[in-house]
Amino acid sequence: MSNVEVTGLKQLEAELERRYGKAKMQQVSDKALSDGADVFIKELKSQFESFKDTGASIDEITKSKPLTIAGARTVKIHWKGDKGRYRIIHLNEFGTVKNPNPKGKGAIARAMRSAESAYRDAIKQAIKEGI
């Protein structure tokens, strides 16, 4: 596989900010990130259906509002709720010493691979609509 080098990205970003304004570009970026996160969450929930018991892990999937981390706009997908599933999600994803291969092993990684193209399409669509 060959590498591709893209040049002029900084100039493109600067020109878009000059034409539309920094606030508008952040608004478009935030909408794109939110739409992409929704696509990923949908795929994640379908992956979790395969080993569903009470459904608490699916119900507690939550996304954050767009925020800046290390200079990049980000949306976090996490588990938040009264059942405290955030404590055991990593056990389903990676297994344990006593149960190295649980039913849900690798579900998050599978969801990331499966939703990659749909995620990119959602971001492209949101950017097209915003500009």
* 12 within a domain of the structure (yes/no): no
Distance separating alpha carbons of residues 103 and 68, to the nearest angstrom: 35
pLDDT of residue 1: 59
DSSP 8-state symbol, 104? T
* 27 within a domain of the structure (yes/no): yes
pLDDT of residue 29: 92
* 115 within a domain of the structure (yes/no): yes
Domain count, the chain: 1
**For the whole model, what pTM was predicted?**
0.85
* 3 within a domain of the structure (yes/no): no
* 79 within a domain of the structure (yes/no): yes
* Domain of 53, in residue numbers: 21-130
* 51 within a domain of the structure (yes/no): yes
* 110 within a domain of the structure (yes/no): yes
Q: What is the pLDDT along the chain (131 residues), one digit of tens a residue?
A: 567 787 888 898 888 889 999 999 999 999 999 999 999 999 999 999 988 889 999 999 999 999 999 999 999 999 999 999 999 999 989 999 999 999 889 999 999 999 999 999 999 998 889 88
Beta strands in 19-106 (DSSP E): 61-63, 67-69, 72-74, 77-79
* 8 within a domain of the structure (yes/no): no
DSSP 8-state symbol, 111? H
